[in-house]
Amino acid sequence: MQLKSEYQDLVNFFTSHPLPAGPQHINEFSVFLNLSGAVETSLNQLRSDVEATSKSAATMLSEIKMWLIRQELTTEKSTAGI
């Protein structure tokens, strides 16, 4: 379907179907009209969560690395008789 005919189909549909009005519907419409903003906000939150998780994992791996290095040094010292 071409964009022009899709647009015309939408115009024809909404011309013959009046939208409900009233405070309860205004809120529903605003959610749909700001859908891209809501999606962007959700994506930004997900990116932030991923970044925080990555930093946390990197910190944890660094601590494990340091622990392993200390274990190796301790083992070397005990084998060397120090």
pLDDT in tens, 8-56: 888 888 888 877 776 666 667 677 777 778 788 889 999 999 999 999 9
Beta-carbon contacts of 19 under 8 Å, excluding residues fewer than 6 positions away, are: 25, 29
Domain count for the chain, please give it.
1
Inside any domain, residue 11: no
Inside any domain, residue 23: no
Inside any domain, residue 80: yes
In three-state form (DSSP H/G/I as H, E/B as E, the rest C), the secondary structure along the chain is: CCHHHHHHHHHHHHHHCCCCCCHHHHHHHHHHHCHHHHHHHHHHHHHHHHHHHHHHHHHHHHHHHHHHHHHHHHHHHHHHCC
Inside any domain, residue 14: no
Inside any domain, residue 12: no
pTM for the structure as a whole: 0.46
Provide the domain limits for residue 58.
29-82
Asked if residue 3 has pLDDT above 90, the reply is no
Inside any domain, residue 5: no
Asked if residue 59 has pLDDT above 90, the reply is yes
